[in-house]
Structure 1
Amino acid sequence: MSAASLHALLVHSIDYAGLFPPCSLALEPALSNQARYVRSDEAWMLNAFVLPLGQFDAAKKILSDFDPQHPLRVSALGPKTEDAARFREMFTKTSDTIRSLSAYNVDLISVNQLEMFLPDDVDLALLKEARSIIGSLPAFWEAPADRAEQTIALLAEHNSNADAPTFGYKLRTGGVTADAFPTSGEIAKALVAPATHQVPIKFTAGLHHSLRQYRDEVQTKMYGFLNVLGAAVLAAEHKWDEKQTSAMLDDEDAKSFSFDDEFFAWREWKIDIKRLKDRRRFVTSFGSCSFDEPREDLRALKLL
């Protein structure tokens, strides 16, 4: 059995994104995988299935592997738009598509959150309009790492007038080529800013391994999900600056990380389970095209 602190750090942390590179599965086998994963011993680590709006209708036809005890929970991926005008136009269609899927079979499928790219000319007024359209559905708005602080500040301003901080920031932490990976300093800025503003954050791409490591397939070092999630909660808990946060993001030594039934620790920095659970409300999940590799890595580290 995994340590309680590992469970607290990773519960509902993985949005399975098997449709996307490098796995790039077709919809039916990806959904078949999800149905198998939600019945696995590590189902507690799963959050949602990342599903582009354009595949909603196809997904409705292949739900036979799911049941009311094991439903399909969807993270809806909206279309990428280039400017605010196109964003407004597509957003209404996005909302209608989500409502249609949500009403299709409430016992088998639900939409838990929305992920969508945020053009740089979207302002506070348009965000308020978006909120009025989607209601209480949590939404994560993606912007490049070099726009993280600006975007997080805008989302924080919006959330300050809301009952709950349901608008969050989505950070891309890698890809299938070396140039898709932001620097640890860029990620650190994106982790420190939401901790300051209490804006929820999720991550996508390049995080299917547990620890920072060089990978031949991308010809660069990938970030580890233990590094990123751990740095996010510890940076918030201990009010780290970007330099300290970067140090944890860059750490490749498994011995630096410890988990027991009372604390999660990186080197001399600790957080107890209660505080960890509180911090996880703002450090939500990461998209991964594989659910197998994260589990294999954790088993290799003897954490599962």
Structure 2
Amino acid sequence: MPAASLRALLEHSIDYAGMFPPCALELEPALTKHAHYVRLHERWMLNAFVLPVGQFDAAKQFLSLFDPAHPLRISALGPKTENAATFAEALAETDAAIRSLSAHNVDLVAISQLEMFLPADVDLELLTEARTIVGDLPVFWEAPAERAERTIALLTEHNSSVDAPTFGYKMRTGGVTADAFPTSEQIARALVAPATHQVPIKFTAGLHHPLRQYREEVNTKMHGFLNVLGAAVLAAEHKWDAAQATTMLEDEDASAFKFDDEFMAWRDWSIDVRAIRNRRRFVTSFGSCSFDEPREDLRALKFF
């Protein structure tokens, strides 16, 4: 059994993105794998299945893989638009597709969130219009790392006028080439800003492994999901600056991370289980094309 602090840090943390590189599975095998994962003992780590809106109709024929006790929870991936002029129309079409699939079989499928790229020229007025389109559905707006702080500031301004901060920021933390990986400093600045302004944040790509490490397949160091999620909750709890968060993000020493049933600790810093759960409201999940690799690595490190 994993320690309570590790479970609090990783519960519902992985959005399974098996259709995306480097795994790049077709729809049917990806959904078949997900149907297996939702029945595993370690399903507590699983969050949603990342499904492009354009694949919604095709996915309907595979809903029989699921059952009411093990439904398909979807993180809908909207289309990428280049500017504000096409953004609202694409969002309206995405919302219509979400409503259609949600009504198709309420016992077997549910849309838990939307992920969509936010063009640079989208302003507060258009974000407000977006809220009227999607209603209460949580949305994570993706923007490049160099636009992270500006995007978070815009989302903060929007969220300040609503009852719950349902608009969050999505950060890309890697890819299949070295140039797709943001620096630790860029991630740190993005972590500290949501902690300050309470904007939810999620991540995608490049977080297959628990700890930061060099990987030959991408010819660079990949960020670790324990580093990223751990730095996020500790930064929020202890009001870290970006420099302190960067230090944790770059730590490759497994012995620096401790988990027990009361606390998670990284070097001289700690956070209790209740606080982890509270801080996780604003650092929600990360997309990974593998659900096996993260668990295998955690076992190899004897974290569970």
Shorter chain as normaliser: what TM range?
A: over 0.9
What is the Cα deviation at residue 301 of structure 1? Answer: 1.1
Residue 220 in structure 1 maps to residue 203 in structure 2: no
Residue 29 in structure 1 maps to residue 2 in structure 2: no
What is the Cα deviation at residue 89 of structure 1? Answer: 1.3
What is the Cα deviation at residue 63 of structure 1? Answer: 1.3
Question: Which residue does 1:143 correspond to in 2?
Answer: 143
In structure 2, stretches of 5+ residues that fail to align are none
Which whole-Å CA distance do the structure 2 matches of 1:20 and 1:118 have between them? 20
Residue 257 in structure 1 maps to residue 257 in structure 2: yes
Correspondences of 1:52-201 after superposition (within 5 Å): 52-201=52-201
Which whole-Å CA distance do the structure 2 matches of 1:47 and 1:140 have between them? 15
Which whole-Å CA distance do the structure 2 matches of 1:110 and 1:174 have between them? 28
Kindly provide the amino acid, as one letter, of the partner of residue 191 in structure 1.
Answer: L
What is the Cα deviation at residue 155 of structure 1? Answer: 0.3
CA RMSD, Structure 1 to Structure 2 (Å): 0.5
Residue 205 in structure 1 maps to residue 205 in structure 2: yes
Which whole-Å CA distance do the structure 1 matches of 2:173 and 2:22 have between them? 14
Which whole-Å CA distance do the structure 2 matches of 1:38 and 1:90 have between them? 31
SS of residue paired to 2:154: helix
Question: Which residue does 1:281 correspond to in 2?
Answer: 281
Kindly provide the amino acid, as one letter, of the partner of residue 28 in structure 1.
Answer: E
Which whole-Å CA distance do the structure 2 matches of 1:183 and 1:302 have between them? 28
Kindly provide the amino acid, as one letter, of the partner of residue 244 in structure 1.
Answer: Q
Which whole-Å CA distance do the structure 2 matches of 1:87 and 1:267 have between them? 45
SS of residue paired to 1:111: strand
Kindly provide the amino acid, as one letter, of the partner of residue 233 in structure 1.
Answer: V
Which whole-Å CA distance do the structure 2 matches of 1:214 and 1:156 have between them? 35
Correspondences of 1:223-242 after superposition (within 5 Å): 223-242=223-242
In structure 1, stretches of 5+ residues that fail to align are none
SS of residue paired to 2:62: coil
Kindly provide the amino acid, as one letter, of the partner of residue 92 in structure 1.
Answer: A
Question: Which residue does 2:9 correspond to in 1?
Answer: 9
TM-score of the pair, normalised by structure 2: 0.99
Which whole-Å CA distance do the structure 2 matches of 1:3 and 1:277 have between them? 14
Which whole-Å CA distance do the structure 2 matches of 1:113 and 1:91 have between them? 13
Which whole-Å CA distance do the structure 2 matches of 1:64 and 1:30 have between them? 14
What is the Cα deviation at residue 90 of structure 1? Answer: 0.5
Which whole-Å CA distance do the structure 2 matches of 1:185 and 1:62 have between them? 42
> Sequence identity of aligned pairs in percent?
76
Which whole-Å CA distance do the structure 1 matches of 2:216 and 2:42 have between them? 28
1:22-52 CA-partner distances (Å, limit 9, x unpaired):
0000000000000000001110000000000
Which whole-Å CA distance do the structure 2 matches of 1:228 and 1:274 have between them? 19
1:55-103 CA-partner distances (Å, limit 9, x unpaired):
0000001111100000000000000000001101111101000000100
Which whole-Å CA distance do the structure 2 matches of 1:109 and 1:64 have between them? 10
What is the Cα deviation at residue 302 of structure 1? Answer: 1.1
Which whole-Å CA distance do the structure 2 matches of 1:41 and 1:265 have between them? 25
Which whole-Å CA distance do the structure 2 matches of 1:141 and 1:216 have between them? 31
Question: Which residue does 1:41 correspond to in 2?
Answer: 41
Q: Flag as ranges the 4+ runs of structure 1 deviating above 3 A.
A: none
SS of residue paired to 2:104: coil
Which whole-Å CA distance do the structure 2 matches of 1:113 and 1:257 have between them? 31
Which whole-Å CA distance do the structure 2 matches of 1:187 and 1:252 have between them? 16
Which whole-Å CA distance do the structure 2 matches of 1:182 and 1:281 have between them? 23
